[in-house]
């Protein structure tokens, strides 16, 4: 079953209005001026990484492909635009037949990126490309921010399992996208069933403090949960007294108890005490799960603790302090006429204050040192040097309006783990620093 075809609330029948109004005003003016059909190249990039970050993570590419496919102006949308006089009748007629028929190249999902990296390149007529700006940026900025935070947390966890549990800390639809991005960034599972249903991400979940408080005693709550879910369940042990709760949990479930969860207190100290107590009670295989407002720094601080997995919510779905990647969508080349054979000319705005852009359709490759470790992100607009030709990063995603690069989400997750592992070791340091690879322009 392809759940994307079900029209669920986590999807929308059309993405056409995920757009800023100025896209439509530019379209109308370009149609009237006769410049709308000029072949154009737009690129998505960021001028800098969030402060202190060593690398970025490309996430949301699969959602971008869905959004481009679903960018359709059906009759209710046309009626809305007409009623509110957003554009004139000739523009409405053009929009009614809109289909993106251009090409898209980009870094494959899960790949890492650096300042200036041409993360996505959209090529077609000015009219068909300009309308996609907002929806592409909203997806990539959000998902890449979550994936970058997830990647840092995954590196800090050092192989211990990570559970995404931030649905209650963000918009209900953003929560689904956040779960997907977290999975790309290295998380193992989610508590969000909508994300599990939509993207086949493994789901987990047991009980909250409310379940314990519902019962007349903690033992009654534990007994009810074990009777229902089996001895392999995870019992929450910090509602009252942790030591007493652990003792009761093992007495009721036996040494086969799956796990205990700790959600408050000095997690480092409590985890050591709980591990010692579990071992003394014979529950040597019972796992310890910790939650409680964790971020990558808190996870790293627990490296020496006997913790088996971490549940992360607020800090993950807000990008751990950086909820956007500041990606932009800029016109970098265009033809002088609508003639398909007209050559492309580089264009770029001139601006002060760090907002300058480099014109021209870009290629990008990662140069390796003599040990096979990446040493630079190389970006150019001319001919690709022979030694870099086989290491180009962008791949075809859409050709002639048809998606050509759809892939399972696990492929993006595995790609990211491999890409991060290939970077210099300093990439995963949590201390503040510059991008781990410099960007070089040719």
The CB-side HSE value for 395 (13 A sphere, CA atoms) comes to 14
Cα separation of 197 and 193, whole Å?
6
Residue 254: CB partners within 8 Å, gap ≥ 6? 231, 283
Tell me: pLDDT of 345 over 50. yes
Cα separation of 352 and 161, whole Å?
46
- Cα 218 to chain center, whole Å? 39
What contacts 24+ positions apart, CB below 8 Å, involve 75-82?
77/14, 77/16, 77/17, 80/17, 81/24
- The pLDDT confidence band at residue 274, using thresholds 50, 70 and 90, is very high
Mean pLDDT of the 54-59 span? 98
Angle at CA of residue 131, ends 125 and 134, nearest 5°: 135
Tell me: pLDDT of 147 over 90. yes
What is the share, in percent, of the chain residues with pLDDT greater than 90?
93
Cα separation of 418 and 370, whole Å?
19
- The pLDDT confidence band at residue 300, using thresholds 50, 70 and 90, is very high
Q: Evaluate whether 344 touches 427 at the Cβ level (below 8 Å).
A: no
Cα separation of 19 and 33, whole Å?
22
Mean pLDDT of the 168-194 span? 97
Tell me: pLDDT of 423 over 90. yes
Tell me: pLDDT of 192 over 50. yes
| Strand partners of residue 346 | 333
- The pLDDT confidence band at residue 8, using thresholds 50, 70 and 90, is very low
Q: What is the average pLDDT value for the chain, to the nearest integer?
A: 95
Residue 426: CB partners within 8 Å, gap ≥ 6? 54, 433, 436
Tell me: pLDDT of 6 over 60. no
Angle at CA of residue 309, ends 306 and 310, nearest 5°: 110
Tell me: pLDDT of 214 over 80. yes
Element containing residue 345 per DSSP (H, E):
strand 344-346
- Cα 38 to chain center, whole Å? 33
pLDDT in tens, 24-56: 999 999 999 999 999 999 999 999 999 989 999
- The pLDDT confidence band at residue 432, using thresholds 50, 70 and 90, is confident
Give the residue among 442, 436, 440, 441 at the shortest CA–CA distance from 374: 436
Predicted confidence at residue 231, as pLDDT, reads 97
Range of weakest confidence among 144-148, 226-230, 241-245, 339-343: 339-343
Q: How long a stretch of residues is the chain?
A: 442
Give the residue among 407, 291, 323, 373 at the shortest CA–CA distance from 148: 323
Mean pLDDT of the 399-411 span? 97
Residue 192 vs residue 2, higher pLDDT? 192
Structure tokens at 66: 């869905």
Cα separation of 337 and 252, whole Å?
78
Residue by residue, DSSP assigns 375-398 as EEEEEESSPPPGGGGGGB--EEEE
Predicted confidence at residue 12, as pLDDT, reads 53
Mean pLDDT of the 99-109 span? 98
Predicted confidence at residue 1, as pLDDT, reads 44
pTM of the predicted protein model: 0.94
Angle at CA of residue 266, ends 262 and 268, nearest 5°: 80
- The pLDDT confidence band at residue 270, using thresholds 50, 70 and 90, is very high
Cα separation values, 13 from 16, 18, 171, 288, 398, Å: 9, 12, 19, 43, 20
For 268-293, b where at least 16 C-beta lie within 10 A, e where not — what string?
bebbbbbbebbeebebeebbbbbbbe
Which strand ranges, in their side-by-side order, compose the sheet holding 259-262?
189-190, 161-164, 309-312, 287-290, 259-262, 234-236
Cα separation values, 45 from 94, 218, 311, Å: 29, 53, 32
Q: Evaluate whether 173 touches 9 at the Cβ level (below 8 Å).
A: yes
The CB-side HSE value for 234 (13 A sphere, CA atoms) comes to 21
Cα separation of 233 and 222, whole Å?
10
Residue 198: CB partners within 8 Å, gap ≥ 6? 3, 4, 8, 10, 11, 176, 180
Q: Evaluate whether 133 touches 23 at the Cβ level (below 8 Å).
A: yes
Predicted confidence at residue 212, as pLDDT, reads 98
Range of weakest confidence among 219-233, 267-281, 343-357: 343-357
Tell me: pLDDT of 165 over 50. yes
């Amino acid at each position: 079953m392809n759940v994307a075809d079900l029209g669920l609330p986590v999807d929308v029948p059309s993405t056409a209005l995920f757009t800023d109004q100025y896209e439509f005003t530019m379209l109308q003016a370009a149609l009237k001026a006769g410049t709308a059909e000029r072949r154009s190249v737009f690129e998505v990039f960021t001028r800098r990484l969030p402060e202190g970050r060593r690398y970025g993570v490309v996430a949301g590419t699969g959602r971008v492909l869905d959004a481009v496919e679903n960018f359709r102006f059906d009759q209710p949308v046309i009626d809305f635009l007409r009623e509110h006089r957003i554009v004139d009748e000739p523009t409405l007629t053009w929009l009614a037949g809109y289909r993106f028929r251009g090409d898209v190249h980009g870094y494959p999902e899960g790949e890492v990126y650096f300042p200036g990296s041409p993360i996505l390149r959209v090529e077609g007529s000015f009219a068909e490309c300009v309308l996609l700006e907002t929806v592409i940026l909203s997806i990539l900025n959000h998902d890449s921010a979550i994936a970058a935070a997830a990647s840092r947390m995954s590196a800090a966890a050092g192989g211990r399992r990570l559970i995404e549990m931030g649905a209650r800390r963000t918009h209900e639809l953003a929560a689904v996208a956040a779960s997907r991005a977290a999975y790309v960034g290295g998380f193992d599972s989610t508590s969000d069933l909508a994300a599990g249903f939509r993207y086949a991400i493994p789901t987990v979940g047991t009980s909250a403090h409310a379940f314990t408080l519902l019962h007349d005693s903690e033992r009654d709550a534990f007994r009810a949960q074990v009777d229902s879910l089996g001895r392999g369940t995870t019992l929450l042990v910090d509602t009252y007294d942790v030591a007493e709760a652990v003792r009761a949990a093992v007495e009721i479930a036996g040494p086969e108890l799956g796990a205990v969860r700790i959600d408050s207190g000095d997690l480092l100290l409590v985890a050591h005490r709980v591990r010692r107590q579990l071992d003394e009670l014979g529950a040597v295989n019972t796992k310890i799960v910790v939650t409680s407002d964790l971020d990558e720094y808190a996870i790293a601080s627990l490296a020496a603790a006997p913790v088996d997995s971490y549940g992360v919510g607020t800090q993950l779905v807000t990008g751990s302090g950086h909820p956007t990647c500041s990606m932009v969508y800029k016109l970098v080349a265009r033809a002088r006429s609508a003639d398909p054979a007209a050559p492309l000319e580089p264009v770029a705005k001139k601006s002060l204050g760090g907002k300058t852009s480099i014109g021209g359709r870009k290629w990008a490759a990662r140069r390796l040192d003599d040990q096979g470790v990446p040493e630079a992100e190389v970006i150019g607009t001319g001919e690709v040097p022979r030694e870099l030709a086989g290491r180009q990063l962008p791949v075809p995603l859409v050709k002639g309006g048809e998606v050509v690069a759809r892939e399972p989400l696990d492929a993006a997750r595995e790609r990211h783990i491999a890409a991060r592992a290939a970077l210099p070791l300093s990439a995963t340091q949590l201390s503040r620093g510059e991008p781990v690879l410099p960007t070089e322009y040719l």
